[in-house]
Amino acid sequence: MKRIIAILPDFISIGFNSFSLKTEEEQFWNWFIKNQEKLYSDEIRSDLKTKLNKELSNRLKRFGSSIKGILKVKNTNGIKELIISAQGVEEFFPKIARLVNNSPTLNNWKFTALIQRTSIESLIKFRYPQATHQAVLVNKNIKCRPLDIVFGFEDIRFTYTEVSNRLNLDVFIPSYNGDEHKYRIKRLLDDLLGEYDFAIEIGIINCISLKEGDEAMGYPIGHLRTVVDQRKLERKKRDYPPVINMVNTHPLHKECKSFL
């Protein structure tokens, strides 16, 4: 039996190789398209849903260790949103921008780069319960009774100082109890300012317990959005460069323009 060995010209073999290669973005969206119905469905088995969400998380982490996907519940029009967040890590913003800019157009899906601002009306509904206990006398015996302390968006106050083109915040919280509340406040600031402005405009955050009688201290937390927007407007008038040098120098600068 004779063997036939075909020797392809270099330009043909190069063509085959380049045709078979896909960008990271294409690989991710091809996987997403294949699994979109399962990701969209509310009726998928819980174990399969967990497995699928883990796969989504792992694929997004290929673009950056802190990058994660947030699948929102369907809105009244049946649209499900995938928010791709860097959890505030600025160096991954351009990668997320490029990934979303290359997203496909799919029925019933919306793709969003970074956590966006939430309306003040929605934030006013924010309530954070803190379970504490109160000693009470019951049948001559002292017992602990649960006592729910609830504070809301309008109960939080802040003051600020400008340091190195960022705002350092003192945030005053009723019944502040440490890391648990600090994490929740950071989530709240993501919703108030949007992930990009939170990362770019805000520096150090000190969380402090708001003592009784200090309710008028500083400003209501909702005013922080006005302060940030005013700073951005003043920079724009002065043609001031964005604070984050990465956005200016990164080769994907054009991808980030939508955030500025």
Q: Is the pLDDT of residue 8 over 80?
A: no
Question: What mean pLDDT do residues 76-105 have?
Answer: 97
Token pair of 241 as six digits: 């460069």
Predicted structure pTM score:
0.76
In 3-state terms, what secondary structure has residue 201? helix
Report the range of poorest mean pLDDT among 19-23, 58-62, 192-196: 19-23
pLDDT by residue (tens digit) across 145-177? Answer: 544 555 678 889 999 999 988 999 999 988 787
Closest CA to 219 of 151, 168, 164, 171: 171
Question: What mean pLDDT do residues 82-93 have?
Answer: 97
Q: Where are the alpha helices (H) located in 62-103, listed in sequence order?
A: 93-101
For the chain, the structural domain boundaries read 10-113, 153-259
Give the integer Cα–Cα distance in Å for 221 and 125: 14
Mean pLDDT, the chain, integer = 81
pLDDT by residue (tens digit) across 173-216? Answer: 887 877 777 888 898 999 999 999 999 999 999 999 988 777 77
Report the range of poorest mean pLDDT among 90-94, 118-122, 169-173: 118-122
C-beta contacts of 241-244 below 8 A and 24+ residues apart: 242/200, 243/165, 243/166, 243/200, 243/201, 244/90, 244/199, 244/200
Question: What mean pLDDT do residues 66-74 have?
Answer: 96
Q: Is the pLDDT of residue 13 over 80?
A: no
